[in-house]
Amino acid sequence: MTTFKTRPSVRPLPLEQTQPGLFTSDIPDLETLLLSSDLFLLAGGTVERVNLADDLPRYLVVGLMELIAKTSMKAYPGVPSRLESPPPGLAPGPDEVCIGIGTDELQAMVKELGGDVLCIYQPISPDRVTLRLVAVERPVEIPFVSGLPAPEDYLERRREADRDRDDD
C-alpha cells in the first residue's frame, strides 16, 4: 500500500525568563503535545555560534518545574538535549543553533509526575543568549487509496475546478 507523509507544522511555545538563565514554559496539556510533536530550542544571541553549539547541549538542563523545585538545579540531570540539524519546516536564524530536547524521556516524566510547566536552565552567558522554544509536529503516514487523487493534489484540482466554473 502506498502512503504519503503529512508536512510537519511548527508551533512556537511560550517561554518566560523568570531570572537570568532560568526559563519556564506553561504548556497546557503537555502530555498530549509530546505524543505528536518533538520539542526544540533555538538558541542565539551575541555569543559565538560555535561556542553555543559546543557548550549548550552539555550544560542545558530541561525538566518539569514540579521535579526541579524539589532538587538543586545543578544536581538535577534533566532530560537529554543534543545539537541537531533543524527538522523540515523549522528555520532557525543565521546566528541560532538548534537543540533537540529528549521528548521520550520528557514524556515519561510527565506521565509519571504530571504537570504542564517546563523548566529550562541555561547557564551560558544568560544575559547574552536568547532562547525560543518550538514544537514540531511529527509527520504522519496516511494510506493512499489507488484511483483517488492524492490529498496534496486534491485541493489544487478543486481550486482549478472552482476557477473554471467561475469563468463560465
**pLDDT, tens digit, 9 for 90 and up, residues 25-52:** 999 889 999 999 999 999 999 999 999 9
CB-based contact 115:30 (threshold 8 Å): yes
Q: Is 61 exposed, middle or buried, given 0-12, 13-18 or 19+ CB atoms closer than 10 A?
A: buried
**Grid cell 514540579 in the structure block, residue:** 66
pLDDT given for residue 140 in this prediction:
76
The mean per-residue pLDDT over the stretch 12-32 comes to 92
Q: Which residues pair with residue 2 across a beta bridge?
A: 144
Instruction: Give start and end residues of each alpha helix (H) in the chain.
Output: 30-36, 49-59, 65-68, 103-113, 151-167
How many structural domains are present in the chain? Answer: 1
Q: What is the domain range of residue 114?
A: 2-167
pTM score: 0.78
Q: Are 101 and 134 in contact (CB under 8 A)?
A: no
For residue 5, is pLDDT > 90? Answer: no
Please count the helices (runs of H) and the strands (runs of E) in the chain.
Answer: 5, 11
Q: How far is CA 75 from the centre of its chain?
A: 25
- What secondary structure letter does DSSP report for 41? E
Q: How confident is the model at residue 141 (pLDDT cuts 50, 70, 90)?
A: confident
How far is C-alpha 109 from the geometric centre of its chain's CA atoms? 17
DSSP one-letter code for 94 = T
Q: Which residues pair with 50 in a beta bridge?
A: none
Q: Could you give the CA distance from residue 32 to residue 14 in angstroms, rounded to a whole number?
A: 16
Cell numbers given for 1? 500500500
Give the pLDDT band (50/70/90) at residue 154: low
